[in-house]
Structure formats: structure tokens, C-alpha cells
Structure 1
Amino acid sequence: MKSDIEIARAASMKPIMDIAGTLGVPTDAVLQYGPYKAKISLDYISSLADRPDGNLILVTAMTPTPAGEGKTTTTVGLGDGLNRIGKNAIMCLREPSLGPCFGMKGGAAGGGHAQVVPMEDINLHFTGDFHAITSANNLLAALVDNHIYWGNGCAIDVRRVAWRRVIDMNDRALREIVCSLGGVANGFPREAGFDITVASEVMAILCLAMDLEDLERRLGNIVVGYTRDKTPVTAKEIEAAGAMTVLLKDALMPNLVQTLENNPAFVHGGPFANIAHGCNTVLATRTALKLAEFVVTEAGFGADLGAEKFFDIKCRKAGLKPAAAVIVATIRALKMHGGVKKEDLGQENVDAVKKGLANLGRHIRNVGQFGVPAVVAINAFTSDTEAEFRAVEDYCTELGVEAIPCTHWADGGKGTEALAKKVVELSDSGRSQFRPLYDDDLPLWDKVRTIARSIYAAEDIVADKAVRDQFRQLQDQGFGHFPICMAKTQYSFSTDPNLKGAPTGHVVAIREVRLSAGAEFIVVITGEIMTMPGLPRVPAANSIRLDEAGNVVGLF
């Protein structure tokens, strides 16, 4: 079997103007970035406001394991499958970060015969959105230090500067730094640090902004630091929002590409799924809903993180109403949750599958709490057996949900036709009664407890007095109506990444609370969450190069 990059390079791509034409987008609204990628103008997007919306389909997954679940691949495969059965469908995906591409995870353009292309461009610099976000973030950081240097009119306490610099690369050496060394001319020395670009609040803001005006308003509300009496100082107060918006004006326009089967896809935005809300931009999703009958989008990691944030943050803020959800599972991942070691996953083990199904079952029930009907997509591997498939199908039937094996990695859209037909059936049934998990006016502490108990099956939440005081302070400052963005390990329902399956009765310890005033959510940090990853012992970068013909090799 060819590698992902070999399959992508062999694809017969259509000019991006042809892809836009199938959506009815006029030529003057398509801003080309070469022959196979483009942005859609904001003026044209605003002209679509009165059109009816299509059906929004969320693709989420069971708790991820090193065996892999293939959520992005399934999103692309389902979109191709919907188009194959005669439906007009668009996929909405996140943009990959350079850090994971050169680290251990690899790219995020799908895989096998269910990919978005041009794969190399999408996984590397693409249309420059991440560079713009990095520049806007670091412009604000420079303006903060400059404001302090030239008199500090806002009285920012240099010990309480909250804004960090970012870079779109895994670099552990930058996690904690000391800046402004070298004497009076360089400012006031202080401890600081870097995050990866996808963890920046600017990324989260771009992905939630409705238009340029909303973008500038949100950027202005970013809290960059505090005075000695802990009064917040915002980006607007140091006159940064306008210039940041200028840097981001093109990045806000959705990126249009295509699948291997020449179907349209928006790839736009890419916030971290554990520190932020892990969804593509609201603007791309809303645009797609005006242009297509079905819009297939994904949310990062398992449903306990990705789907919960998609429903409680993105849908709540953007007024979106999903028609159905697809929960991706693999036999391999079920075996791992059932206690099988990675090296033994190729052997049939129905008992381990049955044991691991408790994890999938909780995700099915959790999605049901939001009033959204679901179907399980079993992303098939060649080592899977009929007995293992049957165990999953029987279990899901008991829960009132259908499980459908899919072969999109090997067969493209043809391998998801049955899944596509089921998604259409669920959408047409009118069964979706979408509702967020909690009300806006519920106190912040109670919102976190609701998530922990309802989604994680935790007994309770705990925090020391300083953290509880933060909750009270945020409530008193008028941020109590914000939704919660949980920062938690993606590998378990609990805060212990080694606790597999469907644990119950555990306690969620809250380590830190962060205000994202521009993104308009409260980040609640549990366990050890890394906002600047490091490279592995043998990074993928070691194998990425150009061949004699100038082609990229080693990217995956």
C-alpha cells in the first residue's frame, strides 16, 4: 500500500476555481493561493446571510489511544460518501500545526484514500494563517513590554504579565525563559515563556469570531496582565487591537481545498483541543452551511473533550444546531481500552473488545445528553475480524445506536456509503433536539462540576482555596456567563492518562483557572497540560526531506 503522501501526490486535482464553481461561488469572491487552494472573501460570505442552513454533522470519537482512531480520515471519507450518494456536502477541518508535523503525531489532512489535498501545502505553510496568528500574538507581547518600558501608563505589574509569546513549533527549551536581560536599554527583566501557536488565545479568537468587527472586539478584550491590585489590563487599553486585526484580516477568510475525490473542503483554524475548544472556525462552518446540503466537521480528541466543547462553546456561541453526530471507534482502540498491549492488537480478541466497549458506551450516552442522535463508525483495519465487528454492533444495538464498519482509508467515499445513508436518515428524521449541557447563568463552579459528573462520571471536583477564590473573583467580575473550556488529558475520562476504559467515582482536581476574555470562555486546567510540546527522541523531522525531483518525502 502506498504511503499517504504518495497517494496524495498521485491525485488528479481540479483547479480550485472549478471546486468553487461547484459551490456557486463567483470568481471575484475566490482569492487564489496557487492553482489548488484559495480563500473565500468576507464580503461574499456576508452576502449569504439570508440563505437557509444545511445539516451540520459532527464527527467525534471514543477516547484516543496510540492505536489511532482516524477521526479526520472518517470526516473526509464521510464527506466523500455523502457526495457519492448524491448529496451536496462540504467538509470543515482544522489546519495542522507544524509542531506535530515535525514531531511525533504527523500531519492532519486525513489518510489513505480519504485525504484533503494538496497534502504537503496543508500540512506545511498552507495560506499563512498560522504565521499571521503568531505575528499578531507576538505583536501584542512586544507592545506589552514596550508599554512597560515607556512609562507603564496602565500600571501593569511586571510580576503579573499574563501574555506569552508563541511559535508554531515543538520546542521545550522555550517553555520557561527570562527576557529583557542586558541592561536598562532592553527593559525590565522578568520570567516569561512561549506556547505553541495553536494554544494561543488569538487562535481561539480567530476560530470564534463572526466577522472583522467581532474579531477586533475580541482581540481588544484580551487580558494581557494585571496591576498591583490585580485589576486586569486589556489589549484595547494598550491600543493593540487595531494592528492585530490588520495582521489577521486575510487569515479570517476561510481556506478552500478539495478531497482526493474532488469534493470541496474548508480547512481553517486549529486551536488545541485540550487547552482550547479544538474546532475549526465558526466562519468556515457557517459559510459551508450556506453553500451545502450537508456540512461534516470534526472536534478534537474524544467526545468528552471535543464534542463537549463543540456543543457547549462553539454551537452555543455561534447559534449552531447539529443534526447528527458520528462517533468513530476502532477495534484496535477498543482492545487497548480492554487491556491489550499495542504489540498484540493484530490478534483477534473478542473478550478485550467487549471489555473496551464500556469506553465507547459512555461516549454514546454523553452525546445523547446533548439531544443529538448518533451513529458509530467503525474505522476498519485489515486485522479486524467479523466476530469483533459483531461484538461492537450487538453492543451498540442494545444502546439504540447503529454501528457501521467503514473502509474509507482503503476505498475512499465508496467505503462510507452505508454510513452516509445513515447520517442522511438521522438528519431527515428531525430527532435532533440540541441543547447545551448547562445554562449560561449557572455559576462557574457548578458548570465545571456538571461537566465532571455528567461527562467524566466523576464523583466531584476539588480545588485549593486560591483556585476557589479565582472562581469567585471571575464570577464577581462579570464573567460568570462564560462557558467552561476544560483542559484535561485526552487519554482518559479521568485526569490520569493511564486510567483506561470508563472509570467512575474519581475526583477531578482543578489545578489552575485562566480567563480567556477575548475568546469568551474560562479555561479550567486539570492535571499536567502542556502548552508547549517537545520533540520526541527521534522526531519525524529527521526523515523529512526533498528527493532528487524536488518532491517532499517523509511527511505523513
Structure 2
Amino acid sequence: MSTFPSDIEIAQNATMSHIKDIAKKINISEDDLEFYGKYKAKLPLHLQQENPKGKLILVSAMSPTKYGEGKTTMSIGLTDGLNYIGKKAIAVLREPSLGPVFGLKGGAAGGGYVQVLPMEDINLHFTGDFSAIEKANNLLSAVIDNNLQNSKYSLNLDPKSIAWKRVMDMNDRSLRQIIIGVGAKANGTMREDGFNITPASEVMAILCLAKDLEDLKFRLGNIFVGKTVDGKAIFARDLNVVGAMATLLKDAIKPNLVQTIDGNPAILHGGPFASIAQGTNTAIATKMGLSLGDYVVTEAGFGADLGAEKFLHIKCEQSGLKPDAVVLVATIRAIKHHAGLVAEDFKTENVSAIEKGFCNLERHIENMQQFGLNPVVCINAFPDDTQAEYDKLKELCATKGVTAIVSTAFAHGGKGSAEVAQKVIAEIEKGTANYKPLYQSSDSIEHKINVVAKTIYGANSVEFSPKSKTQLKMINDLGFGHFSICMAKTPASFSDNEKLIGRPANFDITVREFEISSGAGFVVPLLGDVMRMPGLPAIPNAERIDIDNEGRITGLS
């Protein structure tokens, strides 16, 4: 019995086209390409239009499990499926972070026969965007601490008030809380600090929401740093470092063009996590895709309670974008997980488990409908699924007014998603999508949190810790009450407790503390015990990755 090849084996055996030939498919001149070798290129900002004519398709999912539901895979598969049925479609996706690549989840270049290429480059350093974001973030950190030591030019910052953290694109829990200082010879003082992972950097958020270089600089200048000893708010612009930060980002602001295994164009740009950041690719890349193609397929990270909610309340509200269709990815095994089954039981047909576990997907469907968007459910097929289980899931979705269609794109490429693509086109042509936010910018921060917690998650109430109450008062005193909220919580549950699977009820959520992203235009309520610097699992993926003398990489997924 033959074994299905691994993702990296499929990617390494794929035949890639020169990136200039991929660019021709969407009418990009070779003169507009900044080549990073044969198969990657940066795209100039002038290719984006302010009001593009393309149709936007948002892909999200039910609450994820540790087994992986394949949301990126289905996004790429849908793009290839649309092209397979004769549409001009572009995938516009996030860039992978090294943290998950070497940690638990692995890379984010798709899987099977629906991947973006070159897979190894994309999952590793790619075109250096994450490095530039990290350096810009940490330059500000260095300048802040330098100002603390320089009596002649000091802004008189209160070290205890400094809100800005360093970042690194690696899972390293030991850096969550650190003590820094330069010692007595420089009249230095020790202070508490910490690291977030690079996808959670406000610089990443700013890059993803900025319209152009001018807007990028404006937003960087609005980064809240801390307060002086007499209570005056200090921003990055006060440290005269915005120009240098923007200079480090001069190439990172340009989207990256690559290709799918089927030879279709894909634009990758930005990479915030949806559990601890806003979880969607850049507005620049999305508008550029909509300017170059008739359809854009984009992904919002983790479940729709996180990625899609933030896509709609943050990205859409700031950019003016609106989805023309929504796709929710589901798997039979994830449904069984939310029914309480364990992995050993997934291979056995269990229609009653589909009935029990549907409650999780059901809530995500209802949530999208609250936004005025009726989703299509894409069932990512796995070998152990049965037709009876598919039929039951389709039947349950139909009771919510939603069509569910099986995709075999993982095994068959774009052809395996052709039926999903046709259904999505039919939904778009109905013209019934009518996106509306669930809260207004004029609402208080407390009200916005309550709306998301109660309306999206299903919580009974929201509790605020003493620390968060103090921070909330400061947020309002600083005039940030009109900001959006970017909830940070476990992706495994609607609640802030990852053990509450399915569709939990009668639970409360707790806001532990806040982080301020004033340049990005949102505040981050941290729920439960979520951390913005993840840790490694007991056996990280890094232990399986290697490279031989010919430069051939193994173990990457």
C-alpha cells in the first residue's frame, strides 16, 4: 500500500514557473517586479487601487483542534478551484512565523497538492519581512532605554510606566518576563520588561493596517510608549525614531508574489496571529489582489470567533473592505473532537458524534449570520471520513440555511475544490452579503468587550481584574476609548478556558490585563491565561528538521 507523500516531498517535486510568468497572469509588468531569486518577487505599492473592483472571499473556520483543520490549505485550494472553473482568482494570505514552524503547528504554506511555493523559503526567512518588523520594534526598545540613561536629552520617562515590549520570532517562554538594566557605571536602573512573539508586535499590526508609507509613519509615531514621572503620555514620535523605523520597513511594506502548485498567483504579506493579534494579512496586499484579479481569497486565523471577528471589526472598519462571501472550514474529526471524542475514535464512523459536535460549527455559522454574512461550509476531506458522516453534517448545516460541500483539494488540487468554488460564486452572484459591525467605534471599550464576549462567545458576563480596571481607566484618560478591541484568548474554545469545547454555556470570561496598540488603533484585552509569547511543546518540530549537504531540507511541514 502506497503512502501519501509528505507536504515537503510534494513541494520539492513540484515544477515551478518563473515568477515573471506568474506575474503575467495578472498583468504585472516585469519592470514592476523586485526579484528575490526566480520564484519570489516584491510588488510596488502603486499596484493597489483605493476602490478595487474584485470580489473578496473570507475563509475562516470552526474552533480549531490540535489535529489541524487545514484553513490555509482550503484557502489555497479554493483559489485553485476558482481558477480551475475559469475565474481569475488570487490567494492573498499571511506569511508564516518561525515560532509555529519550529514549535507545534508547523508552517503555514498549505498542504498536500494545495500549497504555495517555494514552500521552504516561505516557511523560513522568506523575503525578510519578519526580520525587518522585529528590528524596527526592537530599535524603538533600544531608543527607549537609551533615553532613560541620557540625562541631557531625557524625556523623564517613568520606567515603571513603559508599555513597549521587545519581540522575537521564536517560541521562548523564558523571555515573557525579564529584568533589564545597564548597571551603575552608566547610572542605569533595572526595570521589568518582556518579549512578545513578532506576530504580536504592534509594528506587525501597523504594517498590516497601513495604507501606504506615509500612513505607516503616522501610525508608528502614534505608538504609546509610556508616561513621564509627572504623568505626560510619551509616543514613539517623541523619541525621534519614526523615520529610522520606517526605513527598516521600506521593503517589508511591499507585498510578496509567489505561486500555488497549480501555478496560480498568490500574494503573501504580514503575519499576525489571530489568537493574540488581529490575525489577517495586510490591507495593502488585499487591495492589491482585488485590483489585479476578479476574486481574492483571504484567510482569517484560527476560528471565526477570533480571526473573522477581528477581520470584520478591525481590518474592514479601518480599510473600508467588505467581504462578498464567507467560507467556514470544518472537518469531520474536529466535529468529533467537539463531541468529546479522542483521536483514537476518529477513524470509526460515528454519525451521532456529528450531531453532538455540530454545536461548535453551528455557533460560528450563527455568528457570521449576525454580521449579515451567510457562509458556505467547506468540509476538508480526510481518508477516514464516511459518506454517512458527510450527509449528516450537510443536513445539519442545511437547518441553518447553509450549504456544506466536501473539498478534496488536499489530494486533488484545484479540481478537488471546483464544487466549493462554484457554490461560492453562486453566493456572490446572489448579492446578499450585507456586512455590518456588531459595535460602533463610539461605544465604550467595556461595551465592545461585552458585545464580543456575549454575542460571539456566548459568555454570561465579563469580569475585570484589578490590574485591568486600572489600565482601562488609563486607556480612557489617554483618549483611546474609540479604539477597536483585539481580544487575546485561547483559540481552542469560545471561552477563555481551552478545556470547554463544543458550544460552552453558563461561563464568564476574565480580562486579566490590557496591552495598548495606539498606532494600530486597537487595545488588546488579554483573557484568561493567554500569553503573547508562546512556549515550545515537549517535542518541538525543530527536532525533526534537517538539511543535507546538497541543501535539501527534510522534516518541514
TM-score by length of 1: 0.97
- Equivalent AA in structure 1 for residue 80 of structure 2: D
Q: Which moved more, 1:504-513 or 1:361-370?
A: 504-513
- Tell me the equivalent position of 2:47: 45
**How far does the alpha carbon of each residue in 1:382-403 deviate from its partner, in whole angstroms, 9 at most, with x for none?**
1000111011000001110000
* Conserved 8 A contact 2:163-2:515: no
- Tell me the equivalent position of 2:512: 511
- Tell me the equivalent position of 1:109: 109
Distance 1:423 1:305 in 2: 22
- Tell me the equivalent position of 2:63: 63
Instruction: For 1:456-535, list aligned pairs within 5 A.
Output: 456-535=457-536
Question: Is 1:21 equivalent to 2:24 in the alignment?
Answer: yes
CA drift at 1:469: 4.3
Q: Secondary structure at the match of 1:106?
A: coil
- Tell me the equivalent position of 1:82: 82
Distance 1:30 1:49 in 2: 21
* Conserved 8 A contact 2:158-2:228: yes
- Tell me the equivalent position of 1:100: 100
Q: Secondary structure at the match of 1:376?
A: strand
CA drift at 1:476: 3.9
Q: Secondary structure at the match of 1:355?
A: helix
Q: Secondary structure at the match of 1:237?
A: helix
- Equivalent AA in structure 1 for residue 55 of structure 2: N
- Tell me the equivalent position of 1:120: 120
Q: Secondary structure at the match of 2:115?
A: strand
Return closer, same or farther for 1:86/1:45 CA change in 2, 3 Å cut-off.
same
**How far does the alpha carbon of each residue in 1:349-401 deviate from its partner, in whole angstroms, 9 at most, with x for none?**
11111100000000000001111121000001010001110110000011100
* Conserved 8 A contact 2:408-2:416: yes
**How far does the alpha carbon of each residue in 1:311-370 deviate from its partner, in whole angstroms, 9 at most, with x for none?**
000011000010010000000000010010122211111111110000000000000111
CA drift at 1:99: 1.4
* Alignment gaps of 5+ in structure 2: none
Q: Which moved more, 1:457-466 or 1:381-390?
A: 457-466
- Equivalent AA in structure 1 for residue 340 of structure 2: G
CA drift at 1:474: 2.2
Q: Secondary structure at the match of 1:425?
A: helix
Return closer, same or farther for 1:549/1:140 CA change in 2, 3 Å cut-off.
same
Q: Secondary structure at the match of 1:455?
A: helix
Q: Which moved more, 1:544-553 or 1:397-406?
A: 544-553
Question: Is 1:34 equivalent to 2:37 in the alignment?
Answer: yes
Distance 1:163 1:514 in 2: 9
CA drift at 1:536: 1.9
Q: Secondary structure at the match of 2:487?
A: strand
* Conserved 8 A contact 1:489-1:495: yes
Q: Secondary structure at the match of 2:189?
A: coil
- Equivalent AA in structure 2 for residue 72 of structure 1: T
CA drift at 1:174: 1.9
* Conserved 8 A contact 1:102-1:540: yes
Q: Which moved more, 1:120-129 or 1:457-466?
A: 457-466
CA drift at 1:516: 0.7
Distance 1:507 1:408 in 2: 39
Question: Is 1:396 equivalent to 2:397 in the alignment?
Answer: yes
- Tell me the equivalent position of 1:377: 378
Return closer, same or farther for 1:49/1:531 CA change in 2, 3 Å cut-off.
closer
Return closer, same or farther for 1:546/1:464 CA change in 2, 3 Å cut-off.
closer
- Tell me the equivalent position of 1:147: 147
Question: Is 1:324 equivalent to 2:325 in the alignment?
Answer: yes
- Tell me the equivalent position of 1:551: 552
- Equivalent AA in structure 2 for residue 306 of structure 1: G
* Conserved 8 A contact 1:180-1:186: no
2:7 to 1, 4, 17: 4
- Tell me the equivalent position of 1:368: 369
CA drift at 1:93: 0.9
**How far does the alpha carbon of each residue in 1:59-84 deviate from its partner, in whole angstroms, 9 at most, with x for none?**
00000111221100000000000000
Q: Secondary structure at the match of 2:253?
A: coil
Q: Which moved more, 1:178-187 or 1:340-349?
A: 178-187
**How far does the alpha carbon of each residue in 1:462-505 deviate from its partner, in whole angstroms, 9 at most, with x for none?**
11454234334423432122111111110101111000000122
- Tell me the equivalent position of 2:439: 438
- Equivalent AA in structure 2 for residue 197 of structure 1: T
CA drift at 1:172: 2.1
* Conserved 8 A contact 1:145-1:187: no
- Tell me the equivalent position of 2:244: 243
Distance 1:263 1:123 in 2: 19
Distance 2:127 2:393 in 1: 41
Q: Which moved more, 1:439-448 or 1:77-86?
A: 439-448
**How far does the alpha carbon of each residue in 1:173-222 deviate from its partner, in whole angstroms, 9 at most, with x for none?**
22222222443238322221222111111111111111000000110111
Q: Secondary structure at the match of 1:115?
A: strand
Distance 1:456 1:419 in 2: 28
Return closer, same or farther for 1:531/1:466 CA change in 2, 3 Å cut-off.
closer
CA drift at 1:26: 1.5
- Tell me the equivalent position of 1:410: 411
Q: Which moved more, 1:440-449 or 1:75-84?
A: 440-449
Distance 1:106 1:293 in 2: 31
Distance 2:425 2:15 in 1: 28
- Equivalent AA in structure 2 for residue 441 of structure 1: S
**How far does the alpha carbon of each residue in 1:138-167 deviate from its partner, in whole angstroms, 9 at most, with x for none?**
110110011111126321111222111111
Q: Which moved more, 1:114-123 or 1:343-352?
A: 343-352
Q: Which moved more, 1:245-254 or 1:521-530?
A: 521-530
CA drift at 1:534: 2.1
* Conserved 8 A contact 2:376-2:403: yes
- Equivalent AA in structure 1 for residue 76 of structure 2: V
Return closer, same or farther for 1:222/1:294 CA change in 2, 3 Å cut-off.
same
- Tell me the equivalent position of 1:162: 163
Q: Secondary structure at the match of 1:502?
A: coil
* Conserved 8 A contact 2:55-2:294: yes
CA drift at 1:21: 1.1
Distance 1:231 1:284 in 2: 37
Q: State the superposition RMSD in angstroms.
A: 1.3
Distance 1:164 1:383 in 2: 45
Distance 1:187 1:415 in 2: 62
Distance 2:208 2:85 in 1: 31
- Tell me the equivalent position of 2:290: 289
Distance 2:185 2:344 in 1: 58
- Tell me the equivalent position of 1:540: 541
Q: Secondary structure at the match of 1:541?
A: helix
Alignment identity in percent?
53
- Tell me the equivalent position of 1:233: 234
- Equivalent AA in structure 2 for residue 519 of structure 1: A
Return closer, same or farther for 1:532/1:92 CA change in 2, 3 Å cut-off.
same
Distance 1:120 1:206 in 2: 24
- Tell me the equivalent position of 1:224: 225
Distance 1:326 1:221 in 2: 35
- Tell me the equivalent position of 1:209: 210
CA drift at 1:513: 1.7
